[in-house]
Amino acid sequence: MGKGQKGSLDKKKGTRMRDDSPGQEDGKKCRVCRFPLLVALLQLLFGVAVAVVAFLMAAISPSLLTRETPHWAGIILCLVSLVGFILYCINYLPDERTSIQFVVKLLYFLLCTTGLVISVLAVAFAGHHHSQSSGFTCKQEGEACVCVQDSNDPIARTFTYEGVSDCEAVTGTLRFYFLLQILLNLVQALICAVGAFIMWRHRYQVFFSGLQIASPSPELWEKV
């Protein structure tokens, strides 16, 4: 009788552990809770904000380089957020139940990682130009603004901003936009890191918890 009771108790414990697995808990939650929809929404919002600020910077001076107007970073993050919305729409679950969900989750993880790297690059480019423009001495020459980092240095590097009617737009407004790009892309990089971490955690947390549930306990091995 004692052995029969122990066997029934072990079966109940195993059933309870299976019911408390992450997959079952997530299945009881609402769809918004099962997948962090907030991550995809933030990626979309900050991607649009980065692209808009970049186009405003290009409107000040068309001679700005592509790396100095990171609209590409914002557009890529908008695409990443669309993949996140697709993942939300196909009934997200932590463990892959269908092949399409596995492909979309893998694609979203890779895009989040790529977005993280691109955002860090945008921060580096904007920070470099912002540090350079902090020591600018500018003068108006026709429809261009010519700036140098050190007016006392005869061989100092010269920066020419075409299509600028007032140098205040370079030393004031453009510097502010570079600082804004640093902040936006920094937050954008953190959001991408969170999205990639969520995909990684759900994949491997369920995997290892499944191993722990499936593997017999040391007590059972001793009894055998």
CB 120 within 8 A of CB 189: yes
Q: Which pLDDT tens digit goes with each residue over 174-192? A: 999 999 999 999 999 999 9
On whether residue 94 sits in a domain, the answer given is: yes
On whether residue 151 sits in a domain, the answer given is: no
Q: Which pLDDT tens digit goes with each residue over 13-63? A: 444 444 444 444 444 444 444 556 888 999 999 999 999 999 999 999 888
Dist CA 35 CA 112 (whole Å): 15
- Please compute the mean of the pLDDT values over residues 195-205 and round it to a whole number: 75
Helices (H), 68-165: 71-89, 99-133
Type of residue numbered 212: Q
On whether residue 181 sits in a domain, the answer given is: yes
On whether residue 214 sits in a domain, the answer given is: no
Instruction: Give yes or no for residue 213 having a pLDDT over 60.
Output: no
Q: Which residues contact 85 (CB under 8 A, 6 or more apart)?
A: 40
Taking the CB of residue 220, how many other CB atoms lie within 10 A of it? 10
pTM here is: 0.72
On whether residue 23 sits in a domain, the answer given is: no
Q: Which pLDDT tens digit goes with each residue over 82-95? A: 988 887 777 555 55
Taking alpha carbons only, the member of 180, 43, 61 closest to residue 123 is 180
On whether residue 15 sits in a domain, the answer given is: no
Note down the domain range covering 121: 33-135+166-205
On whether residue 149 sits in a domain, the answer given is: no
Taking alpha carbons only, the member of 120, 88, 124, 106 closest to residue 191 is 120
Structural domains in the chain (count)? 1
Q: Which residues contact 35 (CB under 8 A, 6 or more apart)?
A: 84, 87, 88, 92
Instruction: Give yes or no for residue 147 having a pLDDT over 70.
Output: yes
On whether residue 18 sits in a domain, the answer given is: no
Dist CA 207 CA 199 (whole Å): 13
